[in-house]
Structure 1
C-alpha cells in the first residue's frame, strides 16, 4: 500500500499515476491537438482531486495549475462550439478546486482571482459566487461578499450554506457597529467613574478601531469546518459525501 493513501483510494491513485506516467512522454504542448490538450488537462485534474482527498493541498494545486496551463487564453480563444464546451468543462472545475484549496490555506486574494475567472465565463456559476463570497468576507470586503452571496442565493435558493454565510455577515456588521458605538461613547460620553486614558492608549484604541472587527469566521472558530453537501466538497465532479470521485 502506498504510504499516506487509504486503501479505498489506492486503485484511483494508481490509475491517475498511470495517467501521469503517460504524460512523461507526451508531445510538446504546441504539437498537441485540441483533444489531446483537453485530455491531458483532465488527467491532471483527476490526479489533483486524489491529492485533495488526501489533504495534500499544495500537491493538488500543482496539478490544477498544470491542467489550467494546457488551456491558456489564446488556446481558449481559438475554440468554438463543442470543443470550447469540452475545454470549459475541464478548466472550470480546476479553477474552482484551486479556489477551495486557497481558501483552506487562507490565501483569500488568490481564491478571489480563480473564482472571478470562472465568472467571466459563466456569471451564474453558484460555486464560484459562493467561494468568492467566502474569500471576500475573510478579507473584510463585506459589501462585495454580500453581493456574491445574494447572487448565489438567486440561483440556488435552497442552499443552507448560503443563508448561513449571509447570517454571519449580518452578525459581523452588528458587532462592528457596537464596537464603533462603544468606542465613541468612551471618548465623548461623560463618565466620572472612568479613568483618564493616556494619549498613547488613545492612539492604540483608534488604531484598533480603524482596523475593523477581528471576528473569527466560521472555519476559524472550530477545529473542523462546518460541512454542506454542495459547497464544502471541492466540486460536484470531484468528491461526494461517500468519498466517490468521477
Structure 2
C-alpha cells in the first residue's frame, strides 16, 4: 500500500521524533558514535532541527571535537536565539576550547624547550637539548613508518 503525501509527512515527523529521542538516550549513555549517527539522520531530513543540532554539538564536545561543535551550536543558536540552554552550552564550550588551546600551546613550548614566555632568561635558545630530542624522536618515528611500509610491501 502507498501512503498519501500527508501520511508520509506524518511518518517522517514520527521518525524524526524517534531518532531525536534515541539520540538523547544514546548521549545520556555516553554512546557518542551512535548518538552522532542518530543526530545526522535527523539532520538529513530536517537540517534546521534545533534538538538534533544541539545534541550533535554536545556529542562532538564530549568527544573533544570543539572546532566542529562550536559552529553547530552557533547554527542552533541562530535558529533559536532566546534558547538559554544553547547559550550556556556554547559559552562553556568556547571556554573549554580556549583552555585546550592554552594547554596545547604550553605543551608545544615545553616540547621546544621554552617552558614559558615570562622566564626566557638562562635559556640556551634554539640550540638547547630539547630540540635534539625532538629531531631524534622525529627521525625514529619516520624510520618506523618507513620500516612498516617495507614490511607491508613484502606481504
> Do these two structures clear the TM 0.5 threshold for a shared fold by scoring above it?
yes
- Over residues 38-75 of structure 1, what are the superposed CA-to-partner deviations in whole Å (9 max), with x where a residue is unaligned? xxxxxxxxxxxxxxxxxxxxxxxxxxxxxxxxxxxxxx
Shift of 1:181: 2.4
Correspondence for 2:81: 157
Residues 108 and 152 from structure 1, CA distance in 2 versus in 1: closer, same or farther, beyond 3 angstroms?
same
Matched, 1:146 2:70: yes
Residue-pair matches, total? 121
Shift of 1:161: 0.9
Map 1:86-165 to 2 at 5 A.
86-165=10-89
Check conservation: 2:23, 2:36, Cα contact below 8 A: yes
Counterpart Cα distance in 2 of 1:168 and 1:186:
27
Which consecutive residues of structure 2, in runs of 5 or more, have no partner in the other structure?
A: 115-119, 124-128, 138-155
- Structure with higher Rg: it is 2
Counterpart Cα distance in 1 of 2:10 and 2:97:
42
Shift of 1:156: 0.8
Which consecutive residues of structure 1, in runs of 5 or more, have no partner in the other structure?
A: 1-32, 34-77, 204-246
Correspondence for 1:182: 106
Counterpart Cα distance in 2 of 1:80 and 1:154:
34
**C-alpha RMSD of matched pairs (Å):** 2.4
**Aligned partner (choices 82, 93, 97) of residue 173 of structure 1:** 97
Counterpart Cα distance in 2 of 1:109 and 1:159:
26
> Secondary structure of the residue that 2:104 maps to in structure 1?
helix
Residues 87 and 170 from structure 1, CA distance in 2 versus in 1: closer, same or farther, beyond 3 angstroms?
same
Correspondence for 1:225: none
Shift of 1:142: 1.7
Shift of 1:122: 1.1
* TM-score (normalised: structure 1): 0.44
Correspondence for 1:16: none
- Over residues 110-164 of structure 1, what are the superposed CA-to-partner deviations in whole Å (9 max), with x where a residue is unaligned? 1111111111111111111111111111122222211211111111110011111
Counterpart Cα distance in 2 of 1:114 and 1:124:
15
Map 1:1-246 to 2 at 5 A.
79-187=3-111, 188-189=113-114, 190=120
Counterpart Cα distance in 2 of 1:184 and 1:140:
19
